A and B are shown apart, each in its own frame.
Chain A
């Protein structure tokens, strides 16, 4: 079974500053992928960034980057130069290999508020 834990229910940051959201996971699979999804208020979920477990290099996507610590099963998201539009619920998700159809296991979410 797969589990994903996000221990920060809420976080806030000032506009233009940097914030890090934490996520830990557990799986016995060797082939898996990790994702951060963003769900703005009353809007649909969109993918922020993804990381393949077999890649040692941390993924980056513009202002978003991850710190993937495979041995510690940790996958944190860093948002640089925070913008008001980054205010949303952020979900960490784990997708295992083809044996499970690539379904996603989500954490409980972290509500991020960017203050002006």
Chain B
């Protein structure tokens, strides 16, 4: 297993365009998380899935953001009508839920730049 992968690694787009990011978690991990990290800050939680169900969304996730995990495997995060304030690193993490709190394994992130 090669760990959590994210594509693309970098995305430059113009304001108003739509962008989509993909995350492939570690196989057999049933939980998948999206975080956003701006420069010099810690990651902020956006949303998480258990299998294909999206169980929680942060208030940071405006109506322009949508995430899916259609078959409980990979996930996509789409941002519609991008704004300059959306420029950030988007991190994906996965974990395997058992009792207690398991380690989240992070991907390398997708760095978004909105011009």
Q: Give bound CA distance, A32 to B101, whole Å.
A: 8
Chain A 97-116, CB within 8 Å of chain B: the 1/0 string? 10011111111110000000
State the majority secondary structure of interface residues on A.
strand
B91 part of interface (Cβ distance < 8 Å): yes
Chain B, Cβ-Cβ closest to A9: B40
Asked if A91 is at the interface of the complex by the 8 Å CB criterion, the answer is yes
- On chain B, the residues within 8 Å of A97 by CB distance are 101
Known contacts A101-B56, A103-B48; is-contact A91 B42 (Cβ 8 Å): yes
Interface string of B94-112 (1 = CB under 8 A from A): 0101001111111111000
Q: Are A106 and B43 in contact, CB atoms less than 8 angstroms apart?
A: yes
Which residues of chain A have C-beta atoms less than 8 A from B55's C-beta? 101
Residues of chain B with a CB closer than 8 A to A45's CB: 43, 91, 106
A64 within 8 A of B: no
Q: Which residues of chain A have a CB within 8 Å of any CB of chain B? A: 4, 32-33, 35, 37, 43-47, 50, 52, 91, 93, 95, 97, 100-109
Closest 4 CB pairs between A and B?
Answer: A106-B42, A33-B101, A45-B106, A44-B108
Supply 12 further A-B pairs (C-beta < 8 A) apart from A45-B106, A101-B55, A109-B41.
Answer: A4-B42, A32-B101, A37-B106, A44-B109, A45-B43, A47-B105, A93-B42, A100-B56, A101-B48, A102-B102, A104-B33, A104-B104
